Amino acid sequence: MLQLIADGFVIGSVIALGAIGVTLVYSILRFANFAHGELLTWGAYLAWTALLGFAAVWGPMEPLGPFSFGWTLLASLGVAAIATAALALLVDLLLFRQLRRHGSAITLIMASFGAALVLRNLLQFIFGAVPEYYSREIQVAIRLVPRDVLGGLRVTPDQLFVLGLTAVSVVGLHLFLTRTTLGKAMRATSINPQLARVTGIDVDRVIRATWIIGAVLAAVAGVFSGLTVQLRPQLGLDLLLPLFAAAILGGIGSVYGAVAGGLIVGLAESLSVPIVGAEYRAATAFIVLIAILLIRPTGLFGERT
């Protein structure tokens, strides 16, 4: 039981970080971006590319303490975050920005499907379809709770790293949104873009910040997924529905809702495995989603306007 909860939190962390991007883009740019999953994949693969680059210069990665990865993966994560943000800004410049001027929300949604296809196929063309790993080091799981207490609990240091960095990212984002002028401007733009403009907010700058934050968190989530599972071109596609389930469940537009939604979806998936089996665990997230929306149609943190 404890083990399933811990596993759920690890899966939930990846989903939560990805769902924040989905919900931010929805609230500021007013469309559901189905290409967001691809930012996770690109983030994961860009980090892998940077890791190979570092390995070519400094030799193979030496594990850092109990972790399966070394400092070069952390540096690669930084490189991937910057490169993924640049990719998101490029897609916006070439595609979404053009459509925002004349198109409707549905045009943007359909365009995001197209962008997802292009990004996924381009990635597969460049990197191939064979799964990859950041590290092939074998990790010894740490026993935190003995087996006779609720089935016991063992976690790997990598899983603890994922949970810790997710918490740091969410707290950092919270401080950014509540304490900085740009963060407050993002909140205001999500409530009323036209009023934001006449209040003196540069909405184009807010949009750029939205893509950057969403993409950076997507890159982190992609690397976490690659670290705890493996790197595959379908990584983002497989996570897309859970990302949307989390964002909607939490109340689309709410960052805190996306985090809570991500953790709930992760827990629902993990806890359902002994009952329905691993094949059907994705379905349980949607049963939870439907149940919560029946009770609270705006989602957990959604605001009625």
β pairing state of 153-155 and 142-145: antiparallel
Give the shortest CB-198-to-other proteins separation in angstroms: 5
Pick the piece of the chain touching other proteins (CB under 8 A) from 42-50, 119-127, 161-169, 190-198: 190-198
175 makes contact with other proteins (CB under 8 A): no
Instruction: Match 């640049």 to its residue by tokens.
Output: 86
| Least distance between other proteins and beta carbon 204 (Å) | 9
* Residue 181 near residue 141 (C-beta atoms within 8 A): no
How big is the site for other proteins, counted in residues (CB under 8 A)? 19
Tokens, residue 222: 């992609």
Q: Which stretch binds other proteins (CB under 8 A): 148-156, 161-169, 189-197, 257-265?
A: 189-197
Query: Is residue 129 a contact point for other proteins (CB under 8 A)?
Result: no
194 makes contact with other proteins (CB under 8 A): yes
Surface-to-core class of residue 304, CB atoms within 10 Å of its CB (0-12 exposed, 13-18 middle, 19+ buried): exposed
Residue whose CB is less far from other proteins, 102 or 136: 102
Binding mask 198-217 for other proteins (x = CB under 8 A): xxxxxx--------------
User: 154 or 174: whose CB is closer to other proteins?
Assistant: 174
Q: How far is the CB of 9 from other proteins (least distance, A)?
A: 30
217-226 CB burial, b ≥16 within 10 A, e <16: bbbbbbbbbb
Distance separating alpha carbons of residues 122 and 45, to the nearest angstrom: 12
Contact between 55 and 61 under an 8 Å Cβ cutoff? The reply is: yes
Phi, psi of 31 (to 5 degrees): -150, 155
Q: Express the helix, strand and coil content of the chain in percent, nearest 5 each.
A: 75, 5, 20
Does 184 help bind other proteins (rule: CB under 8 A)? yes
From the list 191, 276, 283, 287, which residue makes contact with other proteins (rule: CB under 8 A)? 191
Whether the CB-CB separation of 135 and 190 falls below 8 Å is answered with no
104 part of the interface to other proteins, by CB under 8 A: no
Residue 56 interacts with other proteins (CB under 8 A)? Answer: no
Joined together, the tokens standing for residue 223 give 């690397």
The smaller minimum CB distance to other proteins, of residues 196 and 231, is found at 196
Q: How far is the CB of 214 from other proteins (least distance, A)?
A: 21
Find the binding residues for other proteins in span 246-305 (CB under 8 A).
303, 305
- Smallest gap, in angstroms, from Cβ of residue 182 to other proteins? 9
The stretch near other proteins (CB under 8 A) out of 27-35, 137-145, 147-155, 178-186 is 178-186
CA nearest to 100, candidates 193, 20, 2, 238? 193
CB atoms within 10 A of CB 115: 21
Q: Which two tokens stand for residue 174?
A: 């919270």
Site residues, other proteins (CB under 8 A):
181, 184-185, 187-188, 191-192, 194-203, 303, 305
